[in-house]
Amino acid sequence: MARVHITEETSPWMSAREALANAPAGHFTEGEISAHYRMREPGTDKAPQLMEMRYEPHAEIQIHAHDEDEIVYILAGEMHLGGRVLGPGSTLSIAGGTFYGFKAGADGLQFLNFRPRQDTTFHTGRETYRH
């Protein structure tokens, strides 16, 4: 049976530093662990995931990949991706398994990240972390 799921309350911002406290030392950059996020929809193996991310100015996100496809919609700030500077309203569609990295602009970066299923993978090419 089809259903409509509505989430009206805004979940609190959470610290990536706290969420990744048990990660192997050196696996994440300072830009990654200083980030904040909130789960809009946590997702399951059959339900989509929606997360909102907020990065500090000039935060660097290392080259990495995730298992699932993702769509990123930039809400505020800038994302420096290769030689491109993407601002609010820009959308990226990234296939699962695609390696990419980016840097936040001078005013930081905030975006929505949608995935078709729950995905907590972070592959760096050296190792994989699931949180």
* Residue span of the structural domain in which 65 resides: 35-130
Q: Into how many domains does the chain fold?
A: 1
- Residues 1-53 have pLDDT tens digits of 568 888 887 789 999 999 999 888 888 999 999 999 999 999 999 999 999 99
**What span, in angstroms and rounded, lies between the C-alpha atoms of 94 and 14?**
24
Q: Is residue 82 situated within a structural domain?
A: yes
For position 106, which CATH number holds? Answer: 2.60.120.10
CA distances from 69 to 18, 31, 41 (A): 26, 23, 16
- Least Cα distance to 31 among 85, 86, 82, 101 occurs for 101
Q: Is residue 71 situated within a structural domain?
A: yes
Q: Is residue 85 situated within a structural domain?
A: yes
- Predicted structure pTM score: 0.92
Q: Is residue 100 situated within a structural domain?
A: yes
- Least Cα distance to 31 among 12, 51, 54, 9 occurs for 54
Q: Is residue 99 situated within a structural domain?
A: yes
Please give the residue that has the higher pLDDT: either 55 or 127.
Answer: 55
Q: Is residue 101 situated within a structural domain?
A: yes
